[in-house]
């Protein structure tokens, strides 16, 4: 039969293991809500941030009817959809990310070729972003805004797409300015993915009317990861 002293000695490593686990720094929880551009760079971003952040993103429409206004799938959609999604998620006590990486704009600026109407006009875009800022203000979350990426008119709106929705470079600039002003006034950090992506890739970086090739997606992820580390003082470890 083992003595009491032996039992105590056997228990010492377990105590130290439990203490070390308790002393380990908890990873910050990052939640991504954005358009298809974020879906594409997301798989790379998760890898770049695995040492610092646990990663999650919008995955579905929460099982709500279409009337709820939330875009299906993992795409965050326009600002109306983003607001509706966050409104519903924040009703869940378990939804409490430390950092919310947010973007919307590309869907807002879609123009109906038949009547020239916007999916979300500039005033409603501003109103929706203000509502999102108000919603997140009282939550224990650090909001980070990502500027909407560029559109090249000649690529997005060739004659063969004349019956499809249009987007225009001037609208990206205008809607980014609206968001820039709101984020500045609210002291929200902004990651300028618009300028970064324009600087690293020309027209050849597009694989269709608005999406980028894998090389650009990975570089976007690296840029965002570095920006998040700079914002929150995270240091990359070897």
pLDDT digits (tens, 9 = 90+) for 117-174: 999 999 999 999 999 999 999 898 999 999 999 999 999 998 888 889 999 999 999 9
pTM of the entire predicted model: 0.87
Q: 42-55 pLDDT, tens per residue?
A: 999 999 999 999 99
pLDDT of residue 180: 98
Strand-strand pairing, 190-191 and 99-102: unpaired
Taking CA atoms, 193 is separated from 23, 30, 99, 225, in Å, by 36, 18, 18, 12
- pLDDT band, very low/low/confident/very high, at 24 (cuts 50, 70, 90): low
pLDDT of residue 163: 87
133 touches 182 (CB < 8 A): yes
78 touches 104 (CB < 8 A): yes
Bridge partner list, 33? 102
Residue 155 CB partners (closer than 8 Å, separation 6+) = 203, 206, 209
| Percent of residues, the chain, with pLDDT higher than 90 | 81
Q: 80-94 pLDDT, tens per residue?
A: 999 999 999 999 999
Q: In degrees rounded to 5, what are phi and psi of residue 111? A: -115, 130
d(CA 157, CA 151): 10
Determine the average pLDDT of the residues in 68-76.
97
């Amino acid at each position: 039969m083992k003595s009491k002293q032996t039992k105590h000695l056997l228990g010492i490593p377990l105590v130290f293991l439990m203490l070390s686990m308790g002393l380990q720094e908890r990873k910050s929880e990052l939640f991504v809500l954005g358009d298809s551009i974020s879906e594409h760079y997301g798989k790379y971003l998760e890898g770049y941030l695995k040492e610092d952040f646990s990663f999650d993103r919008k995955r579905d429409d929460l099982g709500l009817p279409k009337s709820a206004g939330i875009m299906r799938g993992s795409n965050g959609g326009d600002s109306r959809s983003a607001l509706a999604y966050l409104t519903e998620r924040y009703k869940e006590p378990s939804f409490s990310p430390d950092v919310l990486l947010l973007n919307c704009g590309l869907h807002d600026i879609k123009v109906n070729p038949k009547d020239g109407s916007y999916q979300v006009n500039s005033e409603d875009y501003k109103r929706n972003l203000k509502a999102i800022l108000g919603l997140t203000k009282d939550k224990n979350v650090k909001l980070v805004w990502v500027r909407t990426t560029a559109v090249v008119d000649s690529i997005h709106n060739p004659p063969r797409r004349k019956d499809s929705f249009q987007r225009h470079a001037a609208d990206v600039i205008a809607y980014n300015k609206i968001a820039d002003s709101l984020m500045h006034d609210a002291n929200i950090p902004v990651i300028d993915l618009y300028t970064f992506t324009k600087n690293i890739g020309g027209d050849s970086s597009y694989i269709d009317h608005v999406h980028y090739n894998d090389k650009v997606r990975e570089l976007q992820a690296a840029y965002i990861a570095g920006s998040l580390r700079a914002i929150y003082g995270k240091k990359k470890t070897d």
